[in-house]
Structure 1
Amino acid sequence: MRYSFTVLSLLVAVFFTATTARAEVTGVWSTVEGKSHVKIEPCGDKLCGKIIWLKEPLTDKKIAKTDIKNEDVNLRGQPINGLEILKGFVPDGDNEWDDGTIYNPEDGKTYSSSMTLVKPDTLEVKGCVVMFCKTQTWTKVQ
């Protein structure tokens, strides 16, 4: 009886730790140089994120920016604002998420990605191709 209570207590602690860490990364984050804001939220049992604000939302011709560099020609007309760029992240230890992808509308490519919550208001987002990675630091907006 004592053993099953200990196991149950451990499972509850693990659940609350994972839930708490996940909640800290959700919210709105400013990307490098404040070019955009990305809202990270649960998508089923994973995390995803979409662009909800752009510093420069219009082209030189004063029309909304679209995903013109997307490798899929059929998706090039979709607006950048509202575009899902983070997909499939799962918890991987304390304040870390892995197995996700990040889409970069500046080059139209999707990269394997991981995220680490360094401080409550600082998120490191890493995108990789094979073994070459680039890390950006995002700042929490809300």
Structure 2
Amino acid sequence: MACRYVFTIAILAALLAAPSARAQGAGEPTGTWLTQAGDARVRVSKCGSGICGVIVGLREPNDPATGKPQVDDKNPNPALKRRPMIGLPLFSGMSPTGPAKWSGQIYNADDGSTYASNVSLTGPDTLRVEGCVGALCGGENWTRVGR
């Protein structure tokens, strides 16, 4: 009888723990993330039902040629070419598409273009960020560096 009691308690404990394990598995992408190349830190936060991402730090915050803070000089819109890189929004319209998954658009400051994007939390400290042009997609893994 004691063996049956221990078994029942073990199953009950597993069932009670299961919902919280699923919730932790889905996780939230909020926090600060280091890009795969390590050249930028991006703060991801909730925006309505979706998420936003903003550059909060750069490996090289100043332009080596001018010594001044980096700006969005690749942007095709002349009015936006002088906006600072730190504070630059990267995600737009990122809405949930499933557990720990969002879709929307991502701005690429390296070429000044905006791409269709999918973002997914693949682990507690790994964010998969993908961008697509038509059927051609590429992506990278960002690492969580702060909550």
TM interval, shorter chain, is 0.7 to 0.9
Q: How far apart in 2 are the matches of 1:42 and 1:118?
A: 18
Q: How many residues align?
A: 125
1:59 maps to 2:71: no
Q: Secondary structure at the match of 2:74?
A: coil
1:85 maps to 2:90: yes
Where do residues 1-142 of structure 1 align in structure 2 (5 Å cutoff)? 21=26, 24-60=28-64, 61-98=66-103, 100-142=104-146
Provide Cα deviations, 1:1-41, integer angstroms capped at 9, x if missing partner.
xxxxxxxxxxxx9xxx6xx94x6211110002210000011
1:44 positional shift:
2.0
**Aligned counterpart, 1:8:** none
Q: How far apart in 2 are the matches of 1:50 and 1:80?
A: 9
Q: How far apart in 2 are the matches of 1:44 and 1:95?
A: 15
Q: How far apart in 2 are the matches of 1:83 and 1:66?
A: 9
Q: Which runs of at least 4 in structure 1 moved beyond 3 Å after TM superposition?
A: none
Structure 2, unaligned stretches of length 5 or more?
1-18
1:93 positional shift:
1.5
Structure 1, unaligned stretches of length 5 or more?
1-12
Q: Which of the two has higher C-alpha Rg?
A: 2
**Aligned counterpart, 1:9:** none
